Amino acid sequence: MVQTMIKNEVKTINVEPKVVINENSKTAHKTTVFETKDFNLWYGEHHALKEINLNIKENEVTAIIGPSGCGKSTYIKALNRMVELVPIVKTSGEILYRDRIIFNSDYPVEELRTKVGMVFQKPNPFPKSIYDNIAYGPRIHGIKNKKILDEIVEKSLRGAAIWDEVKDRLHQNAYGLSGGQQQRICIARCLAIEPDVILMDEPTSALDPISTLKVEELVQELKKNYSIIIVTHNMQQAARISDKTAFFLNGEVIEFDDTDKIFSTPRDQRTEDYISGRFG
């Protein structure tokens, strides 16, 4: 279980310029899904996330960019409490999902992860049939009726834009699919439990360019019904598919704004240096 740091914990004073967050962006009127308030996270003595303040809006794609080791993946794993799997993790501050503090002891982690699904860097289908991969979550939630499961499987595969490719091979092992198809199967498996938010941790880093394009097109379609937070090293990808972008550096959010502004007129020199390739 994650332990909260006591208030009088001695902390290193951050002398860097204050994070640049534009509260007047063109998407500011949308409903907030995740609100992160002064959130800190330590792996033992390592201060991995430092005073994070971010608001994630619904029906948007929010990209998290930054060099390796800057806290991107740690942040999204905090959003569905996967960080609790690491025994030495400690946190302070708050993360609220739809106005509910996610680390409170009265918030069942299973309930949170039903609402906040995750797609990982490498495709990780179960060693089962395509059908059983998608039906797994609904079955865990008590759905046994085959007709209902059939409908969920088809709807989820259509939602992941892969139904036409696999509809005649539903009972074949998912390992027989290409890497790009496996990743879309994993997205369909996520959709099957009807989440509200989809977290994606470098979902195309192991894919070829054609498969990457299909996943990017899928993300654009999915944001009509879901809120998506995607970690990516690929700045061109962030520019193509996201509505807002947060630039992380050394565990801090340096700048958070509409994506077109981040990439055309960043307000922090460190952001400009990163997106122009001067480091990272």
Q: Are 234 and 204 in contact (CB under 8 A)?
A: yes
Reply yes or no on whether the pLDDT at 187 is more than 90.
yes
How is 141-206 classified by DSSP, letter by letter?
TT---HHHHHHHHHHHHHHTT-HHHHTT-TTSBGGGS-HHHHHHHHHHHHHTT--SEEEEESTTTT
Reply yes or no on whether the pLDDT at 273 is more than 70.
yes
| pLDDT tens-place string over residues 209-241 | 999 999 999 999 999 999 999 999 999 999 999
Reply yes or no on whether the pLDDT at 3 is more than 50.
no
Residue 241 has a pLDDT of 97
| pLDDT tens-place string over residues 18-31 | 455 665 555 557 89
Q: Are 254 and 266 in contact (CB under 8 A)?
A: no
Helix (H/G/I), strand (E/B), else coil: 275: helix
Reply yes or no on whether the pLDDT at 2 is more than 90.
no
| pLDDT tens-place string over residues 40-55 | 999 999 999 999 999 9
Residue 5 has a pLDDT of 40
Tokens representing residue 182 in the block = 């496996």
Averaged pLDDT, 141-151: 96
Residue 24 has a pLDDT of 55
| Confidence band of 13 (pLDDT split at 50, 70, 90) | very low
Averaged pLDDT, 26-39: 86
More confident residue, 11 or 143: 143
| pLDDT tens-place string over residues 109-133 | 999 999 999 999 999 999 999 999 9
pTM beyond 0.75: the answer is: yes
Residue 34 has a pLDDT of 98
| pLDDT tens-place string over residues 65-105 | 999 999 999 999 999 999 999 999 999 999 999 999 999 99
What CA–CA distance (Å, rounded) separates 117 from 114? Answer: 6
- Average pLDDT of the residues of the chain: 91
Helix, strand, coil percent values for the chain (each to nearest 5)? 35, 25, 40
Reply yes or no on whether the pLDDT at 10 is more than 60.
no
